A and B are shown apart, each in its own frame.
Chain A
């Protein structure tokens, strides 16, 4: 019985692996040229340090992160471009998908103080033996990351505004 369960699980895993389409997670090549820069608009994002890029599957308002993530090229002149990597789209057998590319400094997009994302774009993952589909819908353009103010910054601003109002009233 145990052997049967193990064999069944192995078959399930192999079937699951067999039919998953892949994308070429790269912002350069194949008709795509979409460099990513830091908040000043000129520093390549790869030079900011600890910046990660990730693709997300868009389904209505839901964003599902895809794996793996990637970093930036280290060669001189290439630091605004991603280190290319093949990303698997679970359950997809080669049909077009809507995606968003996010880049962030630190552990996660949600907690990052420097981050940015593209508008939704389309791409078609490909099943082997075909090579992974390019992010054709990304096209040409650029992504500039933004500085996200910390909650304490907002609190300080609110305090300052409050003090100003109080000061004026007293006057």
Chain B
């Protein structure tokens, strides 16, 4: 009996030691990103992280009543979700905003709104389909930089409309004759842009957290 107990104890200890020695890495990196929507103004934002629930009513749950979310659907135009009496109208409120997409947020109040996106950093091979014509797109990888550095697939005839929050107006860049004019657009983390594409394409990137 004593021998049996001893053997059991030894086996359990060995298993415990083996478990503690095995190095377990988490492949997921989680974090948060804050974005500001100016008072009485618009912001063109992306959802930079993979949230557990990516519906508008969940991502923008904390915004005050009167806030309007505009999601652009190529071909059919804007889907409008307005928060009133503490909830978003349906079915727009249940529409999703995934990394790579973007929405306009209109703040009707005299105070700036801070949006906090919480979730997992998108890693691995990421693909963002971009349709022909107008669409709102963003970098799936939460990095700031020029569209060139972020791997945007520029093609002749592309037009990028970037929303200038401070001036509450667009700035325009066109890719023509092999270069961006007047300048290659830049993106902040959590920022989206309107893109006019002559032909459908895909914005592909492979990203690891250590990059």
Contact = CB atoms under 8 A, between A and B. Distances in A.
Q: Report if A and B associate in a common complex.
A: yes
Interface of A: 11, 14-15, 17-18, 20, 22, 24, 26, 28-30, 73-78, 81, 83-86, 88, 128-129, 131-132
22 contacts: A11-B40, A11-B110, A14-B40, A17-B41, A17-B167, A17-B168, A17-B169, A26-B174, A29-B157, A29-B159, A73-B176, A81-B176, A84-B159, A85-B172, A86-B172, A128-B170, A129-B42, A129-B104, A131-B134, A131-B196, A132-B161, A132-B170
B181 A73 contact: yes
Contacts of B40: 11, 14-15, 18
Nearest to B38: A14
B161 to A, nearest CB: 5
A18 B167 CA distance: 10
Contacts of B182: 83-85
Interface string B155-187: 001010101000111111110111101100000
A18 B168 contact: yes
B15 to A, nearest CB: 59
A78 B157 CA distance: 12
Interface string B106-141: 100010000000000000000000000010000000
B39 interface: yes
Interface residues of B, number: 32
A52 to B, nearest CB: 14
A28 B175 CA distance: 11
Nearest to B39: A14
Contacts of A14: 39-41
Interface string B69-95: 010100000100000000000000000
Contacts of B60: none
Given A83-B181, A84-B159, A75 B176 contact: yes
Interface string B39-70: 11110100000000000000000000000001
B170 A28 contact: no
Contacts of B78: 129
Nearest to A7: B110
Nearest to A71: B182
A22 B72 CA distance: 18
Given A17-B167, A78-B181, A85-B171, 14 more contacts: A24-B159, A26-B174, A29-B174, A30-B159, A73-B176, A74-B181, A76-B178, A78-B176, A85-B172, A128-B170, A129-B70, A129-B78, A129-B104, A132-B170
B63 to A, nearest CB: 16
B161 A28 contact: no
A14 B168 CA distance: 9
A20 B169 CA distance: 9
A128 B157 contact: no
Contacts of A83: 181-182
Contacts of A26: 172, 174
B104 A128 contact: yes
Contacts of A74: 181
A17 to B, nearest CB: 5
Given A14-B39, A14-B40, A84-B172, A131 B177 contact: no
Contact of B169 (A75, A76, A78, A88): A88
B177 A86 contact: no
A28 B176 CA distance: 10
B172 A75 contact: no
A30 B178 CA distance: 18
